[in-house]
Amino acid sequence: MTAEIESNFLADIGRRVRALRADQDLTLEQLARLTGISAPALSLIETGKRDARLTTLAKIAAALRVPIRALLEDQTNDASTGGDAPAEGYDLGDYL
Amino acid sequence: MTAEIESNFLADIGRRVRALRADQDLTLEQLARLTGISAPALSLIETGKRDARLTTLAKIAAALRVPIRALLEDQTNDASTGGDAPAEGYDLGDYL
DNA sequence: AGCTGGCTTATCTTTATCGGTAAAACAGTA
DNA sequence: TACTGTTTTACCGATAAAGATAAGCCAGCT
């Protein structure tokens, strides 16, 4: 339950990193040099197997020249799936 | 240089967490129970002294019922209803 | 003064990130 | 079949996050 949502959360981030890297035709080695993060570490993050630190994700976002926000959530709002709507329109789907 | 930008980055996140917590009149103890993160750990994050993991920030955002995006960057220029379009050139100020 | 609540800091243990290196799996392609 | 490039996985050591606990600090209040 909790662990599943967490791994989905990390896997989503990893997919976005990988997609952005592919858009710029960068290899893991190249992104590793740009970020200072090793290629194995990047691979773990992209495959959702590592719970990276905030500054680590910030380095990746900077190297890809996108705001960190672009790595975290879909910019398309979707309808709520759970229960209560917190007054403004967010649902967040109750991460954890 | 690099370390300074990092600490600004973390301090900004911490300030947003603290502001949102204050908006909801929550103490560190209460947020600790909501998130499962200890109050000392939350204090370190809010004061910008800790480089938290992604799932840790996700827990905080969920407890505060805001999208994680709200903790990471200023969204004062958004205020739109559904069409959140980045659309224009980012600078990101070269984190790292 | 003595409280009390909220926050910070310190110490400790467990656990995980992270870089480095190396090896292994997986494409493609000749 | 080999060969090459890319990615994944495994191990190692150093560093750091996170929980727990305790102590310190700083308000406000009786």
Place of tokens 């879909």: A74
User: CA A42, A48, A52, A55 torsion: positive or negative?
Assistant: positive
Longest dimension (CA), chain B: 41
Tokens of A52: 């990276």
For position B70, what pLDDT does the model report?
93
How far is A23 from A52, CA to CA, in rounded Å? 22
Query: Is the entire prediction scored with pTM above 0.85?
Result: no
For position A74, what pLDDT does the model report?
63
Residue B53: strand, helix, or coil: strand
Question: On chain C, which bases lie within 7 A of the protein's CB atoms?
Answer: 5-11, 16-22
B61: amino acid identity, one letter? A
How far is B59 from B54, CA to CA, in rounded Å? 9
Is A6's pLDDT higher than 80? Answer: no
Place of tokens 């960068």: A26
Contact B67, A92 (CB under 8 A): yes
pLDDT per residue as tens digits for the range B12-26: 999 999 999 999 999
pLDDT per residue as tens digits for the range A7-42: 789 999 999 999 999 999 999 999 999 999 999 999
For position A5, what pLDDT does the model report?
78
User: Which residues on chain B place their C-beta less than 8 Å from a C-beta of chain A?
Assistant: 6, 9-10, 13, 35-36, 51-55, 57-59, 61-62, 65-69, 72-73, 82, 84, 86, 90, 92, 94-96
Angle at B83 between CA B77 and CA B87, to 5 degrees: 65
Residues from chain B that touch A61, judged by Cβ atoms under 8 A, are: 92, 95
The CATH fold of domain B3-72: 434 Repressor (Amino-terminal Domain) (1.10.260)
Is A55's pLDDT higher than 80? Answer: yes
Residue A38: strand, helix, or coil: coil
